[in-house]
Structure 1
C-alpha cells in the first residue's frame, strides 16, 4: 500500500512510451512521409536482426558493459573497504570526497574527458603521460576503436565507481563482525575471511550493484555520443536507435532497435537475479 502510489506514477510514465515503441515498431513509418505508414508486422525486426550494424553495436555495448562492471566492482569494493575500515570521524569526509565524480552531470564529465584526450582541442593527457610506453604527444586517442573504447570506459569507471562503492558499503555493514572475528581466531587468512565470510554475506548487495550498473552501462549514450559519435566502430545500441530515429527519421526501425534494447535489458535482469540466487526474504530477516 505504501509503495502503491509511486508504482502507479512510474507505471503511467514508463508504460505508455514502451507500448508506443512496440506499436511503432510494427509499422514502416518515416516522419518525412507520415501519411504513408504501412503495417509490416515483424518485418522491421527481420531487417534490424539481419543488419550487421546492429550486431556490431550489440557487441560493442556488451563489451563496454562487461568491462565497466567488472572494473567498477573491483575498484568499488576496494573503496568500500577503505570507507568501512576508516576512522569514524573520517568516514563522512571520505564518502563525500569519493562521491564527487558521481555528482557531476554525465554530459559535463564526458566533455571533460574528451577535451583531456583530444589532441585537436589541446588535450593534456599525452603531455602528462608521455613517459609511459606507447603514449606520444601526437597520439590520437579517438583515431581507432581500441583507444576510443579505452577513453569511453575509463570515463564511465571514473564517474560511476563511487555509486558501486556505496552499494557495496551497505553490504559490508550487514556482515556480522563476530563472524569475521571468529574466523580470524580460528586461523583463517585474510583471503579466506574475504571469500568465506565477507563475500557470501554481501551477495545481495553485490547483486544489486551488478544489476543496477549493468542496466545503466548497457544503455550508455552520452559518453559515446560526445566523444566519438559512433565513429571507429564505437556505436552502441542507444546511439544506433538515436541515429535511426532522429537522424534518419525512421521511427519504425528506430522503435524496433529500442524494443530490442529493452529486451536485452530484461534478459540481463533475469540472468543477474537468477544467477546470484539471492534469498531476499532471508536477507531482510523475514
Structure 2
C-alpha cells in the first residue's frame, strides 16, 4: 500500500500565500470599475475644486485666470461673513443632531418593542421624512407666518401667545424655527437607522439578562448601547454631514440674509451670485475640511470607546 505524502508546513504556507495573492488581485480587478466611477464623479471634481481655489478665476471673466497661491485662503481667514456662516452652521448642527439622535433613539426603542399596530406606527413615523425638504420648508414657512400662519393663530386662540410672533424674521427666534423644522423632518430618518441596528441585536441576550435579574436600565446600558454603537456611529456621521452641508431649509426660510447664512449658502452666493469662482472654491474646500474634521472626531471617539 502506498501512502500519500502530506505537504510540509512551509509548503502549505506558500500555497496559502499564493492563494491570498490571487484572491487579492481578483478583488482589485472586480473593484476597478467601481473605483473608476468614484474617481470620475467624486475625485475629479474635488481635485478641480482644489485647483480652482488657488486661482483668481471669475465667472465669465474677460481676463485670463492666474495662479494666486494661498491668497484666497488668507482672505478667507479674515472673512467675517464666512466665520459667521461657520458658527451658524455648527450651532445648527449641534442642536439638530443632538435632538434628532435623542428623539430618534426613543422612537426606535418604542417601535422595536412588540405592541398592536406596530406596523402602522412605523409607516406613519416616516411621513415627515418622505416629504421633499423644499416642500416641507415652504409648508412650515407658511405655518409660521406672523400674519396668516396657523401656528400663531393656534397660539393666540389657546392663550399660549399674547400676540403673533415673527418667528422667521426675528433674529432671536429664526434659528430655533429652522432647527425645529429640521428636527421634525429628519428625526424619522434617524429612528429608521437606529431601528435597523436594534433589530440585529439577538433577543437571547435580553432573555439571559432577565433571568439574571438585570433591570431594563442595565439592559439598555450594558447590552443595547454597546451593540448599537456601529449604528450610532453611522447615524451621527450621516446626520452631521447633512447638517454641515445644509442649504435648502435655510434658503427657503431666509434666502441670502447675512445673519442666517450657512457655509453652503455663502459658497453658492459667492460663486453664482458674485461670480468669484476661485474664492468660492476655497470656501468649498474649507467646508470639506470642516466636515472631515467632524468625521475624524466621531471615528476616533468610537475607537476609544470600543478599546
Calculate the TM-score normalised by the size of structure 1: 0.90
2:209 aligned to which of 160, 180, 183: 183
SS at match of 1:119: coil
1:257 aligns with 2:283: yes
2:181 aligned to which of 155, 166, 169: 155
* Of 5-14 and 48-57, the range deviating more from structure 2: 5-14
Whole-angstrom CA distance in 2 between matches of 1:277 and 1:109:
37
Match of 1:17 in 2: 45
Deviations 1:245-286 (A, max 9, x none): 111111111111111001111111111111112899xxxxxx
Whole-angstrom CA distance in 2 between matches of 1:200 and 1:234:
38
SS at match of 1:129: helix
Calculate the TM-score normalised by the size of structure 2: 0.84
Whole-angstrom CA distance in 1 between matches of 2:258 and 2:76:
21
| Pair 127,7 (structure 1): closer, same or farther in 2 beyond 3 Å | farther
Match of 1:128 in 2: 154
Checking the alignment, whether the CA contact within 8 Å between 2:56 and 2:68 is kept in structure 1 is yes
Could you say which structure has the larger radius of gyration? Answer: 2
**Matched pairs, number:** 277
Match of 2:172 in 1: 146
1:113 aligned to which of 124, 140, 146: 140
Runs of 4+ in 1 over 6 A off after TM superposition: none
Match of 1:207 in 2: 233
Checking the alignment, whether the CA contact within 8 Å between 2:57 and 2:66 is kept in structure 1 is yes
Map 1:1-286 to 2 at 5 A. Answer: 1=27, 4-87=32-115, 90-120=117-147, 122-130=148-156, 131=158, 133=160, 135-231=161-257, 233-277=259-303
SS at match of 2:117: helix
- Could you list the runs of 5+ residues in structure 1 that have no partner in the other structure? 281-286
- Could you list the runs of 5+ residues in structure 2 that have no partner in the other structure? 1-26
Q: CA deviation at 1:155?
A: 1.2
Checking the alignment, whether the CA contact within 8 Å between 1:218 and 1:265 is kept in structure 2 is yes
